Structure 1
Amino acid sequence: MTLPIFPTLPGQGWGVKKTPTFSTRVSTHVSGREVRVPLYAHALYQFELSFDALDSSGANAALQSQSLQTLMGFWMSCGGQLNTFLYVDPTDNAVTAQTIATGDGATTTFTLGRAIGGYYEPVSYVTAISNVSVSGVATTAYTLTAPNTITFAMAPPGGAAISATFTYAYQCRFLDDVAEFENFLSGLWKIGGLKFRQVR
């Protein structure tokens, strides 16, 4: 099943919030000592967008004709919180020659990920893959399986660096079952605080 992609519209506001979130269970003893247990292996991301102007009449070509209907229809097709979609973050959607693992001579399936600073995490959903290399040699002897794994026909040898070039998106759902669109001028609408979060 192909997931729908969140639409890119010219009326989007500049302010975008991207919030990585962990979940940790903290138990505090009367002595003040703590026991902390991580509930997430990796962060989940939450996004918040606003659209300062959306066209409903078709008269504002610079805003994409009927962009209100595009965004509202997309939200409604997701059923609010019900269904998932892909969000392509324009600032975080591709890697080149990213090292994803080291072969051990037995493992054939690997999860694709990306490094951000000194932190490495699996990507949510691979949208396209253009190059896979084992020890610097390009190969096509693999299959890509949604959302984010590749399986080699033969296990890469022990010590072999596995790298890939690919694009990715975040698999998300909306956080609310209500979306408030405001008509502020004839044929012009806006919405603020449109929130959604990554799901696994």
Structure 2
Amino acid sequence: MPAAFPSLPGVAWPVTKRPITATRMEAHPSGREVRSPLYPAALYEFTLPVEGLTPDGSFPGLGTASLQALLGLYVQCRGTWGTFLFTDPTDGAVTNQALGAGDGATTAFPFVRTLGGLTETVGWVTTVTQVTVAGAAQAGGWSLTAPNVLAFATAPAAGAVIAADFAYAFLCRFVDEGVDFEHLMRGLWQVKSLRFRSTAP
């Protein structure tokens, strides 16, 4: 399982979350255009200003070793190479999310979340607290297959709606090959802009 992005009390505002898509466009002599989406789903780029990091607990509100936690994660990932799990506090859990309907044969259902009128696959499910089939809670007979698939031992009956309560994270990579950790004063560091982007599910 990838490392988790650390809890950083020194994260400041504004935090940005940018959906990223890609489209191929071809123009015809008539003036008409043909457009094709290149990504099966949007990627999300996050930018966090981290105004306070401490290596030794000099500032209790910033934790005891928040500098080491963030710096260690970045070096562990070797910049843009490795991946980690980021839990968005505003977009990280759903309740009674419909995952699909049984057909009597299918045993695997990807975890999804609904965002407005869009339903898309989530990156990495971290915990599942309840699974229901046709409204009945299932005490067993299912398992979580990493990163994001609900697997049943026996296929749900045709027409039975499968739903779940679960938490999820975004599987991400850092955007920049270098990040500036600034030493402001003894015991206090900052990163003005930390950027990372989700990967395709």
TM-score range, shorter chain: over 0.9
Distance 2:157 2:81 in 1: 43
2:137 aligned residue: 138
Aligned residues: 199
1:197: which partner in 2?
Answer: 197
* TM-score, normalisation: structure 2: 0.95
Shift in Å, 1:128: 0.5
Q: Which amino acid aligns with 1:169?
A: A
Which AA in structure 2 matches 1:5? A
Counterparts of residues 109-188 of structure 1 (less than 5 Å): 109-139=108-138, 140-188=140-188
Shift of 1:57: 4.0
- Relative to the length of structure 1, the TM-score reads 0.96
Aligned equivalent of 2:67:
68
Q: Give the match's secondary structure for 1:173.
A: strand
CA distance in 2, matches of 1:131, 1:69: 36
When structure 1 is superposed on structure 2, of 63-72 and 4-13 the one drifting more is: 63-72
The residue aligned with 1:51 is 50
Structure 1: how far apart are the matches of 2:157 and 2:179? 52
SS of structure 1 residue aligned to 2:3 = coil
Name the stretch that deviates more: 122-131 or 135-144: 135-144
Instruction: State the SS of the aligned residue for 1:41.
Output: coil
String of CA shifts for 1:130-187, please: whole Å, max 9, x gaps.
Answer: 1111100111211210010011111111111110010000000101110101122222
Cα distance, 1:197 vs. partner?
0.7
The 2-side partners of 1:172 and 1:44 are apart by 10
**Structure 1 residue runs without a partner (length 5+):** none
- 1:199 Cα deviation after fit: 1.0
Q: CA deviation at 1:30?
A: 2.2
Deviation, 1:14, is 2.0
Q: Quick one: distance in 2 between partners of 1:106 and 1:39?
A: 31
Per-residue displacement from partner, 1:60-79 (whole Å, max 9, x unpaired)?
11111232122111111111
Describe the superposition over 1:30-77 as per-residue Cα deviations: whole angstroms up to 9, x where unpaired: 221011111111111111111011113432111112321221111111
Q: What is the CA–CA distance in structure 1 between the aligned matches of 2:188 and 2:143, rounded to whole Å?
A: 46
C-alpha separation in 1, matches of 2:39 and 2:61: 42
**For 1:165, what is the secondary structure of its paired residue?**
strand
CA distance in structure 2 between the partners assigned to 1:61 and 1:88 by the alignment: 23
* Aligned residues: CA RMSD: 1.1
Where do 1:80-119 residues align within 5 Å? Answer: 80-119=79-118
Structure 1 residue 12 displacement after superposition: 0.6
State which drifts further: 101-110 or 83-92: 101-110
Gaps of 5+ in 2: none
